[in-house]
Amino acid sequence: MNPVAVEYGLLAFSSLIAMVNPVGAAPMFVEFTRHMPESRRRTAWRASLTVAVAMGVVAVAGSSIFRFFGVTVPAFQVAGGLILVMMALQTYFAMGGDDVQPVSHGDVAVVPLGIPILCGAGSFSAVTVLAGLARTSEQQLALAGAIVAVAFAVLLVMLSAPWLVSRMGQSGQAILSKVMSLLTAVIGVQLVLNGLTAVVIDVAHRIK
């Protein structure tokens, strides 16, 4: 795999893991399974599988949408970047009312844990943008690998969630949430800058 594909794969993984934020979802996983600790392992497996399948479907559909509607990559970079920034700022400043309320019964692996807690609008936007950037087969393979790696990270975090939550405490969870939100905002800003740069270069070439 060439260096460009490797760099793209690292970008894809860092973008997706920041949006999915499995550590931030760990307290909710523990709360959801509080009255059924014996099924935590099965729930963790199903949640991670939901993440992989959901992002995989969006990655494939996102590429098809690009081709069908003739949407340019810079346009999606700017739009997706703005969405990431807005969602990150919303989380960072603890604004909005879209938080999913904990439940203590039933199967929560797919909904609400897999979708929308782990895979929400921000994750889907990131996958769509990344799919549009994957112009070679190696980059597409790197994106698939990044999705699998993120799903595996979700599995590991969910399996160790009771231990993590007990060690982090409320302050640790708050700090981690702020850091992940800041990282997401930075990635979003970079996507916007990349999209605008591409537009400026294209305009400059047309003027010449």
Closest to 146 measured CA to CA, from 160, 162, 164, 129: 129
Total domains present in the chain: 1
d(CA 70, CA 186): 28
- pLDDT, tens digit only, all 208 positions of the chain: 789 999 999 999 999 998 898 988 888 788 788 778 888 999 999 999 999 999 999 999 866 766 787 777 788 778 877 877 887 787 778 644 444 444 444 578 998 888 878 987 678 888 988 988 888 999 999 999 999 999 999 999 999 998 887 887 778 877 877 877 787 788 778 888 988 998 899 888 888 7
The CA distance from 82 to 192, in Å, is 7
pTM of the model as a whole: 0.71
DSSP 131-189: HHH--SHHHHHHHHHHHHHHHHHHHHHHHTHHHHHHHHHHHHHHHHHHHHHHHHHHHHH
Domain of residue 24, residue span:
3-207
Give dist(CA 148, CA 135) in Å, integer.
19
CA distance 39 to 33: 8
Q: Is residue 74 a contact partner of residue 196, using CB atoms and an 8 Å limit?
A: yes
